Structure 1
Amino acid sequence: MAAATVVPATGVIANLKLLNNYNYDEWSFRVKIYLLAEDLWDFVEATTEPPKPEDGEAEFKAWRKNNAKALYAIQSSCGDDTYSLIGGITTAKLAWDTLEEELKPAKAEELVTLMPLEDLNNIHLTSNDGHESNSSYYSEFGQHQPFIDFVTNGDWDSAKEYLGINPDVIRKRGSVSGATALHLAVGLEYEDMAMSLVELMAEEDLEIQDANGVTAIGFAANKGLAQVAKCIVEKNKKILSLPCFGDMIPLLEAYSSGHWKLARFFYSLTPLEALLLDNGCGGAELISESFIAKEFDIALDLIRRCPNLAITTNFSGLTPLHMCATTSSGFLSGTPLKFWQKWIYDSIHIPPATTTLDIRINVEKPEDGPVSGNDLIARSGICRLRGLVPNPRHFFGIDHIYKIKWVHERTAEVLHSMCEVIKDKSPKQVIGSVISAAIFEAIKQGRVELIDEIIETNPLLFGLIDENGKSLLQFAIECRQEKVYFLLYELSGVLPSLLAVTDKLNNTLLHSAASLSPLAQLNHIQGAALQMQRELQWFQEVEKIVPPKVLEVVNDTDGMTARELFTKTHKELAKEGERSMKETATSCTVVGALIITIMFTAAFTVPGGNNGDTGMPMFLDRMLFKVFMVSVALSLFSSTTSVMTFLGILTSRYAETDFLKSLPKKMIIGLFTLFFSVATMMIGFVSTLFIMLDGKSWIVIPIILLASAPIISFVWMQFPLLVEIFAYTYGAGIFSKKVKPLVI
């Protein structure tokens, strides 16, 4: 029988002819195998209604994602003449049913294709020799189908007996799937049977590919079957250099599938030349994958042996250097840590990697499972915290921070080795190359560590420009990457004339600061008003460092100075900032006015009333009454101040410079006084309860707890905004390093 064929994770069905009006049977068989292998067939043959958003968000999103995968597989394998049949259909089931209804040939005996593997045990048929076996109705192995049935059912004794009579069937391929018995045994993870089949096969038989171009060792690498892989390699070592899964050799397939132990075994035996085929695309893919997988030992060894792989394109058309620049988790600059985590991070010592790769892999014990980088951390016992603790795994998440730093250190080691290839490059050689693309991508992503390493390796690259003539410093300003900006500015001290250069369109550094920040950077800041403030801070920061003559330079694109360009590009943001501040001020004014009304009334309606003879409050001599009066007065005065401040915000002129200090200062005063008035109002209310319900704490205490709810809710919703405004206005903010203009 034919078994479900495992296909690459990329979703490509190799060698599949697009569906037309005449090949539905073969097409549906192949596509169904793919959907079964990807565990998507249930979404095509579903008998129940799909979930709706109201049934549960998580369940609906999972269904929607898998339905889209299945639908995409069906749509992408249709020809132009058949795609129109399902062009407007949004579910995989309806698309499949429509194609079946329109294109399936009418036959007396319908062709029944493969069922999911887990359902095979429910079908019992009798083979030609009388043995009961599990099988599908469809046969692509002709008279030798019983042998294939024995293999798919895991019946090695019967399969071996059949081979004794028909030895050549061991290399017979299915008429549609192209799979051999070994493909099926490995795909079904019958390891013992697969190894027995390997022993009976000739060396060249192990190189047979199925219809998707997959060899048996490709399945073994994909599934992490170390025993089977070792058995195949021992019989045919050259198979390690041959494609086994599309363009992937066994090493790359095992590595990309996450089977690190098996990958290390393959790497120890794979000739270096196999990774350098196709201009080194495979080797570049392996190193690139290491940044995503966080497994660096093979990549580090390989890049030290072949530094040029750092600038070799992989299967995606990117270089390992570029992949390194886009991997945020590989650097501290892309890993946000709290202050106490940063303290632990700085205290951790990570020993350097060994100079040679340790490939002592015991594939005889597959039950040990693959060894990941994190496992190596946990087992090595090499963590030392400079006298803090002997074992970091049990204290305050230190193990997690250790793993973060381990990744950073290993990434840095790979990066250091990759930079060897650019050591002797001149800026002229690098302009427009993959090296330039990686450097400017690193600036865009804020990977200051990578930029620092590159410039330290080759200081001449500090003068690199992109295809538009932008310098590294100018591009860092345009991308609003402050850490890279400070690094490059400090280096500008060596060549201060770079602060006055312009690009091909005569844009200066200040023109770059005048452009609107990338959306990704703006989204990190809460509210349009604070975004406008940040933009002004950037402009003023750059304005301080450029020579005075730069202020009057007019660019070629807009014919504007930097200041004029800033006004033009930030016009809409300024309007949005004005609108948001007015909305906030209006809402807070209403709250403040309400508190004023309440506190003014409370000041003359004292608890306990007044003495009829003297007119003085009855509880005047009690301490709690004094607390009540003081809190009421403070609440009244602070709420009045808050309302006046917010009215000042509503009547402001909203000029550009107002967003820098004036408006944020008013917002700080308004929010703080409003918060203070709410807090003192609650104190006055609670003190009144103590006076009126003296001795009844069982009533007072729950009410006090409830009275704290408004304060807590205000702190939760508004206090972070207050802190953020204060930090951006009066704190160090993003420009924690104060720069001075360079003398030119």
Structure 2
Amino acid sequence: MSSSNKISPQEANEKLAESTLEGKWQTVEEIYNSYPESHTVAISDSGETALHVAIELNEEKVVKKLMEAITKHEGGRKKALEVRNQHGDTPLHVAASRGFVKLCMCIVGEENRLYLISLKNKKGETPLFLAALNWNKHAFAYLYDATKHSVILNDLIRQDGDSILHCAIRREYFDLAVIIVHCYDFLITHTNKNGITPLEALATRPSAFRSASKLSLWKLTLYHCILVEPLDVETTMDKILRKMKKPPSEKLEFPENYATLCQALLNLKSLLVGSWKEEQEKEKHDAENPQKKNSEKHEVGFLPPNYSTLQQFIRSMYVHTLGLSGVALKDVKKIKKKHQWSRQLLDKLMEKPYEAFTGRGGQPDLISGWEFDTGVFEAFHQFNQGESSSRFENVEKEKEEKIQTPMLLSSPITDSRKSTPNQNKEAKDGIDPKETAFLVAAKNGIVEMVIKILSKIPSAIHNTNTKKENVLLVAVMNRQPFVVETLRMKSKPEVWNNLVLAADDDENTMLHLAAYALGDEKPWQIPGSALQMMWDIKWFEYIKSIVPQHFNYRTNKNSKTAGEIFKTEHKDLVKEGSEWLRETSESCSVVAGLVAGVSFATASAVPGGTNDEGKPLLERQPAFEAFAVSSLIGLCFSVTGLIMFLAILTSRKEARDFRRGLPTKLLLGLSSLFVSIIAMFVSFCCGHFFIINHKYKTFLFPFYAATSIPVAFYALAQFPLYFDLLTAILSKVPRASDKVESF
């Protein structure tokens, strides 16, 4: 810019702001080259420099030019790279949070300005933290690779004490969480300010585990047909790093189905290669253990040795051959990946069961302002002789400039705890200070975690919360039948009896807690108040079969038995369920009455007339016999349905009626109504068959088939209700449905 030498620095700054906002990057580059003081000028109220804006817009060429200007005019520490916006983010923060790995590489540069990676924003987050927080794989892999020999705990936590592992679990980036525990295993024992360990954070994510996820029958079929391999951390990270270092190549054009074909071939390759590797490992293992080989030689029986590989191949071909590679398949595969990675994360956390369960790593002792322990610096410097010490020099200068950033821990990895995590928790924001990961997993119905913790820490079965509720009481209160059944099978009889006989602070037993209604939370995920009432009664009866008989008469501190609590708590639900049953029965009874009238009129009419003896003239015709049978069936079933709906309307609709009587009547009424409607259509088609001339009869069948479409729509609309009613009647232990999956 030829005129840039003639203007004042203030005018240059104004021109810089204008050109940056308008995207005139050539002018910005010229100003950066001519006016070094403009490198740190904020061009907006948010405190952003031109470099911030260029990074946010992912202008790679512009950023490289600006970095060249900054490197040219600034020696040693680059102040322009440490300028913060209103959130305290440096340019590297912005690039890492957006996932612009090339810009991260440009900012850090070949000079390895690693001190920039340790700078924190107002929330105490480093660029590495932000890359993990938003799960920008390439940026995280690059920053990890750049600092893997010099990373400290302070880089991996923020002011509220949450580590990148906490954040990855809460945001359900379980593949990232597996990578983190592999790269920074000391975070397994780290707790935040509320004393929450990563294991407890994982226990609050029930959707990450198969036992707490509700899948429809269709999705469950796909779920078992999809193969998901465990995450190999080293291979994944190496693949990401190689991809970053690989020079860009021109894109080739492939047919639309190229990706699908490649995926099918990769699946076939993984199956064959995986089977070969398993055989090789098995042979090696058998060579080391010949006795075990002989003992397991005939375990397969009549099945071939490659049975498991063949089975998985058939599953994969079943999915791809039927064309089930659309959105549904992708969703189910995503769910299975989440389950696989979360289980892998759980196994990794429980490799150190005591530390992961108790959080022996301790809380972060964070205060504002930098404080640096010179002993740690010397130890780290001696340990990493090849590393640049500019990162630690930056800490001292940040302290002199009094930039408000969280403190660097004096001993991040070997910090010993001064108190237990339960004592450090604060009873606020719904956090129970005594609730362990075992109780949280039981509350959320995560059976895998309950079993895993019990196998590693058997004493956890006696954990209680602040209300003195043990794991069984917590599971009953939160309607988790799978957890109750698991505890019943895994516990010793004496331990199980102690759990059953326990009571909370208010002297509520298991039966009292099962009697409470949880209102709008819909614990069973069943639509409709009537079905909700059926499940609550079945749950109450199931718990009653577990507890001793005298629990039926035992009172709590409010002098109420479990039966009294159930009646009081379910008054509104009984009222709502009764209203729904009344409306449903009235509507269906009207339809059943109409069908009964039509069926009666049809049954009294004889197609073709009768002879002098009163015998039908068409009695030997197949269509006439079908007409006679269908009209009789329609009349009988329509009357049966009408009687069932009238019985529901005239019932007292008390709480005990919802257990079996009302569901059975409604099921019989709906079934009879459906059969009667089908019979009515069949009788109509058979009677109409005799009216049309013979030469048009071949054209009637498509029209007769079209009359079944309304019946099919009715059946599809009523099938979910029919299935839920059938399940409520036949099942002993209530199970949650998959209705919530559609929302």
**How high is the TM-score relative to the length of structure 2?**
0.71
Give 3-state SS (helix, strand or coil) of 2:567's partner: helix
Q: 1:455 Cα deviation (Å)?
A: 2.4
Q: 1:673 Cα deviation (Å)?
A: 1.6
Pair 1:320-2:181 in alignment = no
Give 3-state SS (helix, strand or coil) of 2:162's partner: helix
**1:140-185: per-residue Cα shift (whole Å, max 9, x none)?**
9534434555666777766565555433433444484433342233
Show the counterpart of 1:336: 214
1:367–1:408 Cα change, 3 Å: farther
**1:435-465: per-residue Cα shift (whole Å, max 9, x none)?**
7254444333322222222222211111111
Structure-2 separation of matches of 1:662 and 1:177 = 67
Show the counterpart of 1:418: 349
Show the counterpart of 2:313: 389
Structure-1 separation of matches of 2:447 and 2:662 = 33
* C-alpha contact 1:152 1:188 (8 A) present in aligned 2: no
Show the counterpart of 1:268: 145
Give 3-state SS (helix, strand or coil) of 2:172's partner: helix
Q: 1:332 Cα deviation (Å)?
A: 0.9
* C-alpha contact 1:529 1:581 (8 A) present in aligned 2: yes
Give 3-state SS (helix, strand or coil) of 1:468's partner: coil
Give 3-state SS (helix, strand or coil) of 2:543's partner: helix
* C-alpha contact 2:211 2:447 (8 A) present in aligned 1: yes
1:217–1:524 Cα change, 3 Å: same
Paired amino acid for 2:562: A
1:187–1:175 Cα change, 3 Å: closer
* C-alpha contact 1:668 1:726 (8 A) present in aligned 2: yes
Show the counterpart of 2:726: 726
* C-alpha contact 1:287 1:303 (8 A) present in aligned 2: no
Q: 1:708 Cα deviation (Å)?
A: 1.3
Aligned length: 594
Q: 1:245 Cα deviation (Å)?
A: 7.2
* C-alpha contact 2:231 2:341 (8 A) present in aligned 1: yes
Show the counterpart of 2:52: 183
Structure-2 separation of matches of 1:714 and 1:160 = 69
Show the counterpart of 1:224: 99
Q: 1:500 Cα deviation (Å)?
A: 0.9
Structure-2 separation of matches of 1:304 and 1:675 = 61
Structure 1 segment 686-725 matched on structure 2, within 5 A: 686-695=685-694, 696-697=696-697, 700-725=700-725
Pair 1:142-2:141 in alignment = no
1:602–1:268 Cα change, 3 Å: same
Q: 1:516 Cα deviation (Å)?
A: 0.9
Structure 1 residue ranges without an equivalent (≥5): 1-125, 132-138, 370-375, 737-744
Pair 1:299-2:145 in alignment = no
Show the counterpart of 2:62: 193
* C-alpha contact 2:438 2:450 (8 A) present in aligned 1: yes
Structure-1 separation of matches of 2:530 and 2:537 = 11
Pair 1:409-2:332 in alignment = no
* C-alpha contact 1:251 1:266 (8 A) present in aligned 2: yes
1:377–1:517 Cα change, 3 Å: farther
Q: 1:129 Cα deviation (Å)?
A: 4.6
* C-alpha contact 1:679 1:711 (8 A) present in aligned 2: yes
Show the counterpart of 1:478: 477
Structure 1 segment 540-555 matched on structure 2, within 5 A: 540-555=541-556
Q: 1:377 Cα deviation (Å)?
A: 10
Paired amino acid for 2:182: D
Show the counterpart of 1:238: 115
Structure 1 segment 368-387 matched on structure 2, within 5 A: 382=270, 386-387=309-310
Give 3-state SS (helix, strand or coil) of 1:578's partner: helix
Q: 1:602 Cα deviation (Å)?
A: 1.9
Pair 1:594-2:594 in alignment = yes
Show the counterpart of 1:569: 569
* C-alpha contact 1:443 1:476 (8 A) present in aligned 2: yes
Show the counterpart of 1:534: 535
Show the counterpart of 1:255: 132
1:302–1:509 Cα change, 3 Å: farther
Paired amino acid for 2:667: I
Structure-2 separation of matches of 1:588 and 1:717 = 14
Pair 1:210-2:85 in alignment = yes
Aligned-residue Cα RMSD (Å) equals 3.8
1:345–1:160 Cα change, 3 Å: closer
Show the counterpart of 1:288: 169
Q: 1:539 Cα deviation (Å)?
A: 0.9
Show the counterpart of 2:467: 468
1:690–1:366 Cα change, 3 Å: farther
Give 3-state SS (helix, strand or coil) of 2:728's partner: helix
1:181–1:621 Cα change, 3 Å: closer
Structure-1 separation of matches of 2:527 and 2:184 = 43
Structure 1 segment 419-568 matched on structure 2, within 5 A: 419=350, 423=354, 433=425, 436=435, 438-494=437-493, 495=495, 496-517=497-518, 519-522=520-523, 524-557=525-558, 559-568=559-568
* C-alpha contact 1:634 1:680 (8 A) present in aligned 2: yes
Q: 1:480 Cα deviation (Å)?
A: 0.8
Structure-2 separation of matches of 1:618 and 1:239 = 100
Structure-2 separation of matches of 1:521 and 1:299 = 36
* C-alpha contact 2:178 2:344 (8 A) present in aligned 1: no
1:127–1:253 Cα change, 3 Å: farther
Instruction: Say which structure, 1 or 2, has more relative contact order (CA 8 Å, 6+ apart).
Output: 2
Show the counterpart of 2:582: 582
Q: 1:209 Cα deviation (Å)?
A: 1.5
Structure-1 separation of matches of 2:659 and 2:344 = 42
Paired amino acid for 1:614: E
Paired amino acid for 1:256: L
Structure-2 separation of matches of 1:154 and 1:646 = 72
Structure 1 segment 605-616 matched on structure 2, within 5 A: 605-611=605-611, 613-616=612-615
Q: 1:261 Cα deviation (Å)?
A: 0.8
Q: 1:229 Cα deviation (Å)?
A: 1.0
Structure-1 separation of matches of 2:118 and 2:173 = 24
Give 3-state SS (helix, strand or coil) of 1:436's partner: coil
* C-alpha contact 2:500 2:547 (8 A) present in aligned 1: yes
* C-alpha contact 1:248 1:282 (8 A) present in aligned 2: no
1:522–1:590 Cα change, 3 Å: farther
**1:399-449: per-residue Cα shift (whole Å, max 9, x none)?**
764543332222122223334565276899676756725444433332222
Q: 1:304 Cα deviation (Å)?
A: 2.3
1:175–1:698 Cα change, 3 Å: closer
Structure-1 separation of matches of 2:236 and 2:590 = 70
Give 3-state SS (helix, strand or coil) of 1:718's partner: helix
Q: 1:662 Cα deviation (Å)?
A: 1.9
1:405–1:141 Cα change, 3 Å: farther
* C-alpha contact 2:5 2:34 (8 A) present in aligned 1: no
Paired amino acid for 2:309: R
Give 3-state SS (helix, strand or coil) of 1:544's partner: helix
Give 3-state SS (helix, strand or coil) of 2:309's partner: coil
1:366–1:240 Cα change, 3 Å: farther
Q: 1:644 Cα deviation (Å)?
A: 2.1
Structure 2 residue ranges without an equivalent (≥5): 251-261, 275-307, 360-418, 426-432, 737-743
Identity of aligned residues (%): 27
Show the counterpart of 1:136: none
